[in-house]
């Protein structure tokens, strides 16, 4: 067996063990297991805030897919913004993003595989499970040193998940979104 | 009747035209005012020189209890030194938290801290200078593992220092110290706030005055 092949098998085994540990980790207190969040969810939300980009936009269609990945899990979310009085033509602005997370040494805390260096102008991203909620955080610094933190808290409900999104800039909450998403089989 | 209308309409258009012409300077004036207001804001935002902050200051601050926190107001004595370091600065501060307004009884707490910031080569902020270990050199910061990340910036007359930490449970804290230099340069207004997972849970405000640093 070649050294390369041995290393590859070793890497696969380590990743499998890490994923197994994350999935099978006994729930600390009442923490939901990671696998409880896996699924596809579809719903809608309401925006509040003073962000000029979203002025006049109060409704948004939400779509999220949380699934197992090689080393942890990935979250893909799509948002379609539409005007309240323009429901017949909802494709005003469509945004989509995906982040993949791997377990860390800290229980129920995950780090984005591509999390960068904040002070180099790169995004850092992490996630945590607390109770029935999986929260994803994205943080960046702009060129002037102002910080932006976006958090997506997704809480398991009887029919799917409830979303509470918040965008904070330099300590000021500039936009929030609350929504309900149903599990889509 | 229709003839009268035919005559009146051109007059109406003429009146409207004259009205608009009269309003044009006013409208332009508003545009000018708006432009000058924007320029004023831009001017107000223009950062003062870092060296303006250099000095030694003493004073105090009050921690305002947050509603529902059950905390009581606390007075803190402050001692701040800001001095040049390479192309950045060093800041040293001492905080003494009094007990019932006194600092000569048991339970008084003293915290001293020192930080050095270097100007970032690519961005308009300063970053905490990394300590170089004799054998390991510098080590990478892993913020998600709990290492704090610090940066500083000047906006207008305010020098702000931010510190981000991520707790063991994945929640985050951003602590911000804002030190605003008075127009005469004789004092600094101090504002501290702590953002804990999207909500501000602590505020401290105070004032320090510039003093002569005796040898």
Answer yes or no: are the C-beta atoms of A93 and A9 closer than 8 Å.
no
B209 CB neighbour count, 10 Å cutoff: 13
Among B144, B151, B193, the residue with its CB nearest the CB of A111 is: B144
Residue A183's alpha-carbon distances to A43, A63, A99, in angstroms, are 9, 10, 20
Concatenating the DSSP letter of every residue in B104-122 gives SSTT-EEEEEEEEEEE-SS
A171 chain-B contacts, CB cut-off 8 A: 174, 176, 193, 195, 200
| Closest of A161, A112, A160 to residue A136, by C-alpha | A112
Residues near B211 by beta carbon (within 8 Å), at least 6 away in sequence: B56, B57, B58
Mutate to test the interface with B, among A128, A150, A166, A167 (most CBs of B within 10 A): A128
Determine, for residues A121 and B123 on separate chains, whether the beta-carbon distance falls below 8 Å: yes
Query: Tens-of-pLDDT digits for all 185 residues of chain A?
Result: 455 565 555 555 545 555 555 554 544 557 889 999 999 999 998 887 765 555 555 677 899 999 999 889 999 999 887 765 555 554 568 889 999 999 999 999 999 999 999 999 999 999 999 999 999 999 999 999 999 999 999 999 999 999 999 999 999 999 899 999 999 87
Closest Cα partner for A123 from A134, A110, A137, A109?
Answer: A137
Q: Do B149 and A151 touch (CB under 8 A)?
A: no
In this complex, is the C-beta atom of B87 within 8 Å of any C-beta atom belonging to chain A? no
Q: ipTM score of the complex?
A: 0.79
Q: Is residue B173 classed exposed, middle or buried when 0-12, 13-18 and 19+ CB atoms within 10 A define those classes?
A: middle
Cβ contacts of B103 within 8 Å, gap of 6 or more: B77, B96
Burial of B126 (0-12, 13-18, 19+ CB in 10 A): buried
| Contact assignment for A144 to B176 by CB distance below 8 Å | no
Residue A111 contacts B, CB cutoff 8 Å: yes
- Contacts B123 to A, Cβ<8 Å: 119, 121, 141, 143-145
Torsion of CA B3, B6, B7, B12, to 10 degrees: 150
CA B45 to chain centre: 11
């Amino acid at each position: 067996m070649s050294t390369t092949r041995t290393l590859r098998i070793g890497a696969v085994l380590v990743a499998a063990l890490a994923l197994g540990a994350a999935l099978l980790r006994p729930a600390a207190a009442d923490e939901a297991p990671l696998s409880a969040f896996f699924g596809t969810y579809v719903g809608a939300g309401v925006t509040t805030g003073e962000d000029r980009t979203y002025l006049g936009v109060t409704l948004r269609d939400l779509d999220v897919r949380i699934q197992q990945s090689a080393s942890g899990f990935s979250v893909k979310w799509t948002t379609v913004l539409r005007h309240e009085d323009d429901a017949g033509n909802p494709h005003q602005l469509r945004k989509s993003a995906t982040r993949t997370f791997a377990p860390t040494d800290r229980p129920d805390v995950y780090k984005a595989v591509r999390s960068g260096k904040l002070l180099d102008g790169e995004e850092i991203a992490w996630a945590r499970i607390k109770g029935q909620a999986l929260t994803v955080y994205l943080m960046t610094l702009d060129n002037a040193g102002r910080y932006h933190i976006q958090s997506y808290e997704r809480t398991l409900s009887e029919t799917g998940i409830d979303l509470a999104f918040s965008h904070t800039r330099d300590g000021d909450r500039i936009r929030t979104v609350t929504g309900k998403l149903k599990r889509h089989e | 009747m229709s003839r009268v209308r035919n005559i009146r309409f051109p007059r109406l258009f003429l009146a409207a035209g004259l009205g608009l012409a009269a309003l044009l300077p006013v409208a332009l004036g508003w545009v000018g005012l708006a432009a000058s207001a924007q320029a004023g804001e831009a001017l107000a935002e223009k950062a003062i020189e870092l060296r303006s902050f250099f000095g030694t200051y003493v004073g105090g601050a009050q921690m305002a209890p947050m509603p529902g926190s059950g905390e009581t107001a606390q007075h803190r004595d402050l001692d701040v030194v800001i001095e040049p370091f390479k192309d950045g600065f060093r800041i040293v501060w001492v905080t003494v938290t009094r007990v019932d307004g006194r600092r000569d009884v048991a339970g008084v707490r003293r915290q001293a801290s020192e930080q050095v910031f270097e100007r970032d080569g690519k961005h308009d902020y300063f970053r905490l200078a990394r300590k170089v270990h004799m054998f390991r050199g510098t080590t990478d910061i892993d913020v998600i593992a709990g290492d704090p990340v610090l940066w500083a910036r000047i906006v207008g007359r305010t020098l702000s220092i931010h510190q981000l930490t991520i707790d063991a449970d994945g929640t985050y804290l951003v602590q911000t110290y804002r030190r605003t230099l008075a127009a005469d340069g004789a004092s600094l207004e101090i504002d501290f706030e702590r953002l804990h997972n999207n909500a501000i849970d602590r505020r401290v405000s105070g004032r320090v005055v510039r003093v002569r640093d005796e040898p």
